[in-house]
Structure 1
Amino acid sequence: MAVPVVLFHRLAQREYQAARRWYAQRSPQAARRFQDEVERAVQGIASRPDQEPL
């Protein structure tokens, strides 16, 4: 079974990018952890779209 693609509203994408830049300015490690957490959440939503709150 194919994993569904998760699409983001353009404003949500901008907000994510701004938040990642904010973290990166303070700590590259924090920016990586932030990105990893977002990716983990998105993968969870993609693998179980009916079980994750939106």
Structure 2
Amino acid sequence: MIAALQARPPLQHAIVTGRGAPPALREIADTVTEMNMEKHAFRAGVRAMPGIEY
């Protein structure tokens, strides 16, 4: 994956999402964002909804 990202055209943007990115991927990234859940409907018993969570 890292080789493919590095070989992409200079003006092509790529967005990679998910948890637990390996250090090598984080190293080549221009931006790394870490999100933490402060409040979520799941905690109140609201189930995942089609078209939103999956």
Structure possessing the higher relative contact order (Cα contacts under 8 Å, 6 or more residues apart): 1
Q: Which protein is bigger by CA-based radius of gyration? A: 2
| Shorter-chain TM-score above 0.5 | no
